[in-house]
Amino acid sequence: MDAKCVVWDECSMGSARLLELFHEITSQIRGNLRPFGGMQCIIVGDWLQLKPVADKFDDGRPMYLSYLFPSLFPHTIKLTIVHRQNEGEVVYRNILRHLRIGRCDDETVEAILSLEREIGDLDNAIHLYFTTLLVDAHSVSRLDLLPGDRASFTATDNGNLQGLDCPSPSVSYFKPGAPIIVLYNISANIHNGTRGFFVRKLSDDTAVIRVGEGEHVIRNVSWLNGDDDGHSIGSRSQMPLKLHWAATVHKAQGLTLDKVIIHSSYEFTGGLLYTALSRVKSIDDVQVLGFRREHVSKRDNMLNAISELPQINLKNCPCFKDVQALEHDISDEDLLKIVQGMFDETGAADQFISIHDNEETESELRMEEVLEMVEQNGHILAKPPDDFDVKVLLMSSKGAAFR
């Protein structure tokens, strides 16, 4: 209820339905019909990475196709500085720039084919596949090669599981030392996406994993299945862990990985190869197997839709109306300094830019620092436009009801 600002990262994977639900729920909870109940909302990410995954409740349309989007986000700030790959990675950057927009000329094809050579330290490389089936097959084969006894965990299923969105199978197998990834938000330190190693099985529903230098006890959790009306019709209780010698590109989005081996195939959705290739910092740490030009899907429709996103002059942007420096023309560098003064600018690579004495340094994002800056500048960040009118917002939706 007291939140003044929400930062929504990896926005490309956020759907139109999710955006509309978030707006409606926050408005109702806060008793305020303004956008997001009067909260400032900043969405961050690259629209040309992976699209939302469709399910029986969501058609998977990107959030920028929502009828509410133009009213909720009237402007865009484009960040053009690449931080994951340094300026010396010229070939690598060119590959990513072309794949991002679905282009694959002869030079790009030749450059990607050259990446089929072997890279060192294969034991620490993550294999990236486009589908879950291939990920599971790879992990099973690697588990068989690992010495030691297998530990199995059998799920407890109840009711109707048809259509259940659960990443954990009915039976899971592990061995001591096997790399794992957590599938559920358990605590502040152990959450969905946390990587570690399996240590031992304590009971049919309890295991020990190692993350960093510490060991943690993990217990079964439950995933619920619902019908079209949102009523619970079934559940699965299972160990929230999965082998992590390999991962889908969807699971890897947002991560920076040390070494990756990409198993290329036809893209069933645009941006898979681009997203996979951009996970590492150097071209020396990526290997691409089985690539062919026809694997890359064209993205013309998406590029056209993104080019039509609402944009206004930053001088007239209501979110910056209290910043006096914007009353005259300023450079991009000065603009970043002004934004930095309001709140720590966060990017899709889980990092933020600190600007001191005209030098840009990269450091890890600390959430307490972000919250502190938001609190200090709440009068700016949470201030709605002076000309905001609920009737205008509702009329702009052409009578469409919140879903």
Q: 253-263, pLDDT tens digit by residue?
A: 888 899 999 99
User: What is the pLDDT at residue 197?
Assistant: 96
User: What is the pLDDT at residue 391?
Assistant: 54
Rounded Cα distance, 242 and 168, in Å: 7
User: What is the pLDDT at residue 87?
Assistant: 83
User: What is the pLDDT at residue 63?
Assistant: 94
Residues of the chain below pLDDT 50: 320-330, 335, 338-339, 342-365, 375-376, 378-382, 397-403
User: What is the pLDDT at residue 392?
Assistant: 57
User: What is the pLDDT at residue 350?
Assistant: 34
Give me the count of residues in the chain. 403
Rounded Cα distance, 248 and 134, in Å: 9
Burial, 200: exposed, middle or buried (Cβ in 10 Å; 0-12, 13-18, 19+)?
middle
392: left (phi over 0), alpha (psi -120 to 50) or beta: alpha
β-partners of residue 289 are: 263
Quick: pLDDT tens for 37-92.
888 888 999 999 999 988 878 899 999 999 989 888 877 888 888 888 888 899 99
User: What is the pLDDT at residue 362?
Assistant: 43
CB 138 within 8 A of CB 179: no
User: What is the pLDDT at residue 32?
Assistant: 87
User: What is the pLDDT at residue 331?
Assistant: 53
Give me the residue label for tokens 């990587």.
195
User: What is the pLDDT at residue 336?
Assistant: 52
Q: How many CB atoms lie within 10 A of CB 49?
A: 22
Quick: pLDDT tens for 204-246.
999 999 999 999 999 999 999 988 887 899 999 999 999 999 9
Burial, 75: exposed, middle or buried (Cβ in 10 Å; 0-12, 13-18, 19+)?
middle
User: How does strand 232-238 pair with strand 241-243?
Assistant: unpaired
Rounded Cα distance, 53 and 72, in Å: 23
User: What is the pLDDT at residue 334?
Assistant: 54
Half-sphere exposure at residue 390, Cβ-oriented, CA atoms within 13 angstroms: 7
What residue type is 321 in one-letter code? Answer: K
Q: Where are the domains of the chain?
A: 5-76+309-396, 126-257
User: What is the pLDDT at residue 379?
Assistant: 45
Q: Is 213 helix (H, G, I), strand (E, B) or coil?
A: coil
Please give the C-alpha separations between residue 164 and each of 190, 229, 234, in angstroms, as whole numbers. Answer: 23, 14, 8
